[in-house]
Structure 1
Amino acid sequence: MFGKKAQPPIKSLIAQGTHIDGNMKFNEGLRVDGEVFGDIHATSEDGSLLVISEAAVVQGGIVADHVIINGTVRGPVHARELLELQPRAKIDGDVSYVALEMHQGATICGSLKPLMAGEASTEDEKPLLKLATKNA
């Protein structure tokens, strides 16, 4: 399901020490190492990747296909495909996802809302939930 598509390349970087006020839109891949005070929304129809690094702080909503978080997010997170929460991820907001991978140490203060993938899903299907372990 998720292994079939290649990851979009990260073409944009918000470097550590950079502070952005305002909403952002991006295509393909974006890595955030700095601070963003506003929403971050992926507009790409061919898949998108958003990486929030350990030093990053985002205060606003996030929407992308594949979201990897290892920093702090204060706002809702919507992963249209896969949400990966690394050990230092801290989310203060509601989270929606099709598949979730959460490492030990990651925290969420908000509700979790599993979504169904595309038209092929039915109401009886359960969302994919993958637990990450150190021994894997």
Structure 2
Amino acid sequence: MFKKSKTGGLTFIAQGTKLTGDIQFTDEALISGELQGTIQSTSNINIELDGYVEGELQCVELRVSGSFKGKLNCNKLNITSTGRVDGEVNCQSMEIFEGGQFIGMRVRESAELLSNTYTPSEPAKQLAENPATS
């Protein structure tokens, strides 16, 4: 699922736990409880089936099996068959499995964590430069 971090740390927010405010993770995090606020991580976050995160989230990779609502900035977003993402998403790659839900808007903005710049493919460039006339 996720690569093991160099320090080997893992934060687990258990079901029934609710945290609110400015939250920071330096290692991977598994969320089965509820987080609300501004969440920043220098690693990966996994929202488990019963997990719920609401607010502004910045991380390297987000895997959603539960629910996320808010503004997301990450390199990779993975929405499993039980996952639901509702809000504004800024990511380099997005994968949605059958049954997974994405409600909202995907934006392309430059961000600290996003190392690659989006460049459209050649056919898309040609289409933009030479639109077909009817």
CA distance in 1, matches of 2:60, 2:118: 20
Looking at CA atoms only, which structure, 1 or 2, has the larger radius of gyration?
Answer: 2
Q: Show CA shifts across 1:78-133 (max 9, x none).
A: 11x211111111122111111111101111221012468525x463359xxxxxxx
Q: Quote the residue 2:65 is aligned against.
A: 70
**Percent identity, aligned pairs only?**
21
Unaligned runs of 5+ in 2: 123-134
Q: Tell me the TM-score normalized by structure 2.
A: 0.75
Length, aligned pairs only: 116
CA distance in 2, matches of 1:124, 1:63: 25
Instruction: Classify 1:57/1:94 alpha carbon distance in 2 versus 1 (closer, same or farther; 3 Å).
Output: same
CA distance in 2, matches of 1:54, 1:122: 32
Shift of 1:41: 0.8
Q: Quote the residue 1:100 is aligned against.
A: 94
Once the two structures are superposed, the pairs formed by residues 1-136 of structure 1 within 5 Å of their partners are 6-8=3-5, 9=8, 11-42=10-41, 44=42, 48-79=43-74, 81-114=75-108, 118=115, 121=117, 123-124=119-120
Q: Quote the residue 2:128 is aligned against.
A: none
Q: Tell me the TM-score normalized by structure 1.
A: 0.74
Give the superposed CA RMSD: 2.4
Structure 1 residue runs of 4+, over 6 Å off? none
CA distance in 2, matches of 1:14, 1:82: 21
Contact kept, 8 Å, 2:79 with 2:85, in 1: the verdict is no
Contact kept, 8 Å, 1:13 with 1:31, in 2: the verdict is yes
Give the aligned residue type for 1:124. P
Q: Quote the residue 2:129 is aligned against.
A: none
